[in-house]
Every structure is written in C-alpha cells, then in structure tokens.
Structure 1
Amino acid sequence: MPICSGCSVELDDKRLFCKQCKGFYDLSCANILEKDFKKFTSEEKSCWICAFCKSKNRKGGDNTNTPVRSNSAPKLVEEDRSAHVTLRSRDRQRGLSGLPVPPPDQDVGHTGCVRMEELKDLIAKEIKENLYSSMFSIISTKLEPQLKTIREELADYSQAMKFFNDKFEEIVTKQSEYVDKVKTLEAENQFLRDHVEKINQRLKQIEDNARSTNIEIQCLPENRSENLITTVQQLGNVVKCPLNATDITYCSRVAKMNTESNRPRNVVVKLSSPLQRDTLLAACIKFNKNNLNDKLNTSHLGIAIEKKTPIYICEHLSPETKSLHAAARLRARELNYKFVWVRKNKVFMRKTEASDFVHIRNIDFLSKLT
C-alpha cells in the first residue's frame, strides 16, 4: 500500500497522485472534499498537482507594474525579488506564521499540512507557556497556604522529635547507670548471701554444740506436783543407766511449738557431758529393742494413770532439724524407706538393712530423693 507523503499514513483507494513530485496524498492532505473527489475524471486525476508543487511553479508575466508600484520604479534584481516573493509565498501557503520555514533542500511534502514533529513542538510549546503558568498560578494561590501549614506542622514535629530524642538519650544514659548499679548490687547481694550462709553454718554448729549434752523427753504427762529430776533418775534406773543428781545440770519443760496440740510439753534435760548423753540414749534404744511388747512408757516411771502412754527419748533438736526430721519421715513412707533416725543433730535415712544410709541435708535434697 502507498504511504501518504503528507501524514505518512497508509492510503486506500481514495488518494491522489502528484504527477510532478510523484507523491501520493489522501483527501485531507490534498485539501479536497470527498464529493469533489468523486467528480474527478481519470484525466483530471492523472494531471493533478499538489499544492506544494504548484507553489514552486513561477507565474507567467512581469509583476513589476502593480497597483502599489509605478512603472518608473526600478526593477528589482532577480535574486532579491525571488527571495522576497519566495519567503512570503511560503508563509502564506503554510497558513501558520509561527511555523519555522524549512530549508530549501528539505522536501516538506506539500503546503497546507503540518508535520507530526512540528505538531509535537507546537503542543509542547503551548504546554510549557500556558499549562505550566496556570499550574504555577494554582499552586501559588491554592496550595501555598496549605504548604505553609504543612511546613509549620513539620517544624513542630521536628522540635517534638528533637525533644523526644534528647529524652531518649537521657533515659539510655540513666539506664546504663542503673544497669551498672544493678550489677554491683547483685555482686554485693551474692557476697552477702554467701556470708550469711557461712554465719548460719557457724550458728548451727554452735547451737549443735550447745545441745550436744541435751536430751528431750516427749509425751511425759504433766503434773503440778511433779519432780522432773526424780523422774529422770527413775528413767536412768529403768534403762540401766543410773544418774546422780550432779549429772543433771538442768531440767525443765519447754513451750509448745504448736499451741493447739493436746500433747504435754516436752522436757529438756541437760546432762554433764555429751558422752553421758549418748550413753543414756543408747540405753533407751537397747531397752526398747529388748522389750518390743512393752516399750518405755509411763508405768516404768511410776506415773499412775488409767492408760499406759509411750514415752520417747531423743536428742534435743533445733527447730530446723525437727522440721527436716518430720519431712523425712513423710518422705520415707512415700518411698518405702524403712529407717529414719537422727544422730548428732543430723537426719539419716536407709531403705533396707543392707542398703547404704543417706544424709538428708535439706528439704531440696529430700525432694530429689528417689
């Protein structure tokens, strides 16, 4: 298909051929109506010349004698006249005084039509001159107040962020100081814990030494007219460990740990030496082993009551050791341990006669026992 020399579009049957420049043109570029084109004969179509080629053809005759020029006026030089006439003719034929004149060696196709590149340049120029100015006017009148408000708000936000940043830096600095203080306090606390643990161990040792000569008699019935020293001597005679009055340095009942208990108050007896204490305890244990059906009770001590009541002789334990001993007895029932005893204020457990004993140091150790 041929291409239009004016608008570079493929042509259909409705086209004209310039016999001079040998170019094809559609009806719009040829500036011909469709109804006029239908009236063209074949001879007229074959002799048709485009407007640009017509403008290049010189008109016949001399044009020096014009109404605005007298016959006596000197004739223009051929080059000057042709130059002036050519420029005016181009401007008039194109119909747009603002369009640039193409150079003589450039084939512009035909007059009366605008090329795509020139149209683009015109649109860009209009946009630059009119649209940009209108947009600038709208921005200046409509958006400038809003932009001013936004700038003020941004300035306020900037000040607020600076304030928060300063506060944050202050908090970070104080936090670093507090972390150092906490580390120092933790180290001091650990030191104090270790020191307190050592002091507790020393106090426990001192307390154990202070109780090393004491025995405790439990479940001994109370009587207003009782003589505890005589009762202790009677106990020594029963278990075949005689005691003199000088062997007993202190004897008294102590307050109950549980005030709601119906059991009588315990009796604490302080003997003259740890050896004598251990001898009396061993004698009581031997007596109970030899008399399994009639262990030590109130009848052996000459206490007249309706029902015989068992009497227990043990070491005088500290409150912590007593609590540990009670917890060990409960744990022994759960784990089927057969033996639980106290020796020199220490708690021991043994599962069977053939197994090794276990020293119960504290409640945590007891909970881990299996």
Structure 2
Amino acid sequence: MQASKLKFECCRRQQSSTESILCAVCKKKYHFACVNNTDITFSELTEEYKVSWQCPVCQSRQPRSDNSNTPVRVSSGQEPRSSREPSQSINIIGKKDIFQRDKVSQGFTLEDIRSIVREEIGTALCNSNQKLTEKINANSKELHEELQTVRDSMHFMQQKYEELCKELSLKTDKIRSLDLENKTLKQAVNDLTSRLSQQEQYSRASNAEIQCVPEHKGENLYTVIKQIISTVDSNINEKDIHLCTRIAKLHKDNPRPRSILVRFSSPRMRDEFLAAAITFNRKAPTIGDRLNTSHLGIAGDKKPIYVVKHLSPTIKALHAADRKKAKELNYKFVWVKGGQVYMRKTPDSEYKFIRNSDVLAKLTQ
C-alpha cells in the first residue's frame, strides 16, 4: 500500500471516521480512538484543545516540562477540567500510562503494531489466496478439459453401444427367424428322406437278397437260385425270376462275399420264396442243418446262407442299429415289414415302430 494514499498516521488505515483529531504541529490526522487512553469521549473535547493538540511524535520532540501547562484554562468559579480532559499526550498518569507514553514516544503504539501485523498477514493471505485460486483455476480448467474429453468418449461409447444393441437385436431376430426356418427345413428334409426311403423300399418290393453265398469265377447265379428254390421246396418257376445279380458291398472292407439280388415277377412271388426259406430253417433239426453252402453242392466247411428282403440303404442301416439296440435293451424281436422297422421286447408286449434314428436314440426300455 502506498504512503500517499494514507489518511491516518495512527493505524495506517484508510477508513474514514468523524472522531478524528489533527496535530497542530505536523498537521497529520489521527483517530481519536487510537490515541485516547482515558475515559473521556470525543464529544467532551473543547475546540481549544482540538486546535492546540499535538500528536505523540511531535510531543516527544519537545523538551520535558511540568504538568502546569495544561491545554484547557480554568475559568474562575469552575472546576478544573484536567481531571476530565486529556493532556497533550492524552495519558500521563500511572505506571501503565507512562509505559504506554514510552511506546508512543517511539512512534508506534501496540495497536499500530497489531494493525500492521494484521495488514501484512492479510496481504500475505490475500496473495496466497490469489496464487492458490489461480492454481486451482488452472487445475480446474485442466480437469474440466479432461472431463469434457471423458464425456465425449462416453458419448461416443454410448452411441457405439446403442448401435451394437440395435445390430444385436437385428441379428437376434434374424437368428430366431433362421432357426425357425432351419427347423422347418429339417422337418421337411426328414419327411422327404422318409418318403424317398419308402419309395426306394417300394421299388424293392419284388426283390430278395441272398447273403453269404461264396463267390466263384464263372459262377451261374440262375443255377444257384434254382438250387436254393429247390432246397427250400418253393413253388416258384424259373420264369418268375426276372433278374439275378450280385450287388456291391455297403462297406468295402467287409470280408463277407457280395450278396445276390433276385428280382421276382411280383412281390407275392418274393414273399413265397422268403416264407419257404423261413419254414425250411425252422424245420431243420439243428442249427447246422439250416440253409448252408452244402445245400448248393459247395465242398468244404458248411457256411450258413441267409435269405432276406432287399432293403434300401437307409432301412438296412436302421435295421442294423435296431438289432444292436435290441441286444442292449434285451429286445427279442426285430423285423421289417412294409419298408418299416419294428421292435418287440417279449411276445406279449406291444411293438414299437422305429421311424428313424432319433426315435431309436430316445428308446430306453
């Protein structure tokens, strides 16, 4: 704070006050409250006292004198005001007053020192607060920028999240639609497969398959079939045999010989041939006497020969799986009728229609 702006010399403050007094020597202004150490109020001072009053600094420069030179004259018939009004130094009686006067004689009062200390502390606090405020503002600005960047990033992530949610919803709906369509198509494929298998089986309605007949180079299959017909005592004529040939193996690594396919003139002829073969095997006294290679005039060990229906690959695979499952679940009967596979656990139990492998997989008892 610049000295040219100071208005009061007592406390170095600029605040205005109506209770101020002017030094008659140096013409400097003081607060009456700062230099008054008595119980006398400002309103009790006389004009003569105010005009002749000297500040403590100017008074300290003058030679010491007694107390007879009072600032207020006592008129006749009046009580002296020295007991009511302050002297030039305001406070000259008592040890405490002398100590205070010595303080004043040095140019500063305790209140001056307190005021200066307060002002310096206030200035330091103000500067510290200003620096702290500037630092906080700078940090706040930086923090605000970082927060704005975070907000922008969060807004961007929110947009991406909404886009992903929307896209996920569309994909989910599409997956549901495709799943439903897949189930429909799967059902349609199963139906078509079943129909195709039935058609294939119907096309084999007049066919019989003879298994485990040894293969020989230059063999005559018609002769072999006629020998089997004669052995099982069937009434089928040679003209009822339309086709006789060997068919490819389902599995090439199977050591068994290729089966012989026989096509008869009608399904009835085929069924008569199968029935005659079944009857022959049932009447055989032992298992070794059932239809075998010796009945065909083939020398060597007897090897069984099987006469069965000519099944489509699908029905044949399902029939094989059924026989395997029947062993696991102790089913005694597995047969094919009308191109369909059936199973029965006991002669008195209800039969089970095995439509496909899914039905077989669910079979537990």
- TM > 0.5 fold call: yes
The answer to whether structure 1 residue 228 and structure 2 residue 221 are counterparts is: yes
- Would the alpha carbon gap of residues 73 and 197 (structure 1) be closer, same or farther in structure 2, given more than 3 Å must change? same
The answer to whether structure 1 residue 340 and structure 2 residue 334 are counterparts is: yes
Please tell me the residue identity of whatever aligns with 2:328.
Answer: E
Q: 2:200 aligns with which of 204, 207, 215?
A: 207
- Would the alpha carbon gap of residues 332 and 173 (structure 1) be closer, same or farther in structure 2, given more than 3 Å must change? closer
CA distance in structure 1 between the aligned counterparts of 2:260 and 2:338, rounded to whole angstroms? 18
- Would the alpha carbon gap of residues 84 and 326 (structure 1) be closer, same or farther in structure 2, given more than 3 Å must change? farther
- Please show how residues 293-312 of structure 1 align to structure 2 within 5 Å: 293=286, 294-302=289-297, 304-312=298-306
The answer to whether structure 1 residue 328 and structure 2 residue 322 are counterparts is: yes
The answer to whether structure 1 residue 315 and structure 2 residue 306 are counterparts is: no
Q: 2:283 aligns with which of 275, 282, 290?
A: 290
Could you tell me how far 1:55 is from its partner in structure 2?
4.2
Q: Among the aligned pairs, what percent are the same residue?
A: 39
Could you tell me how far 1:200 is from its partner in structure 2?
1.4
Q: Which runs of 5+ in 2 are unaligned?
A: 1-37, 41-45, 54-68, 101-117
The CA deviation string for residues 47-66 of structure 1, in whole angstroms up to 9 with x for no partner, is xxxxxxx948xxxxx99899
Q: Which runs of 5+ in 1 are unaligned?
A: 1-53, 57-61, 96-123
Q: 2:179 aligns with which of 167, 186, 210?
A: 186
Q: 1:197 aligns with which of 178, 186, 190?
A: 190
Please tell me the residue identity of whatever aligns with 2:299.
Answer: I
Please tell me the residue identity of whatever aligns with 2:293.
Answer: T
Q: How many residues align?
A: 283
**Equivalent residue for 1:217?**
210
Please tell me the residue identity of whatever aligns with 1:181.
Answer: K
- Please show how residues 46-125 of structure 1 align to structure 2 within 5 Å: 55=39, 68=52
- Would the alpha carbon gap of residues 166 and 66 (structure 1) be closer, same or farther in structure 2, given more than 3 Å must change? closer
CA distance in structure 2 between the aligned counterparts of 1:251 and 1:237, rounded to whole angstroms? 16
**Equivalent residue for 2:274?**
281
Could you tell me how far 1:67 is from its partner in structure 2?
11
Could you tell me how far 1:229 is from its partner in structure 2?
1.7
CA distance in structure 2 between the aligned counterparts of 1:175 and 1:362, rounded to whole angstroms? 37
Could you tell me how far 1:128 is from its partner in structure 2?
8.3
Please tell me the residue identity of whatever aligns with 2:249.
Answer: K
**Equivalent residue for 2:149?**
156
Q: Which moved more, 1:215-224 or 1:190-199?
A: 190-199
CA distance in structure 1 between the aligned counterparts of 2:166 and 2:179, rounded to whole angstroms? 20
Conserved? CA contact 2:197–2:315, under 8 Å: no
Could you tell me how far 1:129 is from its partner in structure 2?
7.8
Could you tell me how far 1:180 is from its partner in structure 2?
2.4
CA distance in structure 1 between the aligned counterparts of 2:175 and 2:49, rounded to whole angstroms? 116
CA distance in structure 2 between the aligned counterparts of 1:335 and 1:266, rounded to whole angstroms? 30
The answer to whether structure 1 residue 255 and structure 2 residue 234 are counterparts is: no
Per the normalisation by structure 2, the TM-score is 0.64
CA distance in structure 2 between the aligned counterparts of 1:286 and 1:83, rounded to whole angstroms? 160
Conserved? CA contact 2:236–2:273, under 8 Å: no
**Equivalent residue for 1:167?**
160
**Equivalent residue for 2:364?**
369
| Partner-residue secondary structure (3-state), 1:342 | strand
Conserved? CA contact 1:251–1:267, under 8 Å: yes
Conserved? CA contact 2:212–2:304, under 8 Å: yes
| Partner-residue secondary structure (3-state), 1:268 | strand
| Structure 1: 4+ residue segments shifted above 6 A | 62-67, 69-76, 81-85, 124-130
Per the normalisation by structure 1, the TM-score is 0.63
CA distance in structure 1 between the aligned counterparts of 2:276 and 2:85, rounded to whole angstroms? 154
Conserved? CA contact 2:318–2:356, under 8 Å: yes
CA distance in structure 1 between the aligned counterparts of 2:70 and 2:131, rounded to whole angstroms? 58
Conserved? CA contact 2:198–2:339, under 8 Å: no
The CA deviation string for residues 324-344 of structure 1, in whole angstroms up to 9 with x for no partner, is 222222222233332222223
CA distance in structure 1 between the aligned counterparts of 2:228 and 2:356, rounded to whole angstroms? 33
Conserved? CA contact 1:315–1:344, under 8 Å: no
Q: Which moved more, 1:167-176 or 1:355-364?
A: 355-364
- Would the alpha carbon gap of residues 167 and 327 (structure 1) be closer, same or farther in structure 2, given more than 3 Å must change? same
Could you tell me how far 1:202 is from its partner in structure 2?
1.6
- Would the alpha carbon gap of residues 358 and 246 (structure 1) be closer, same or farther in structure 2, given more than 3 Å must change? same
| Partner-residue secondary structure (3-state), 1:240 | coil
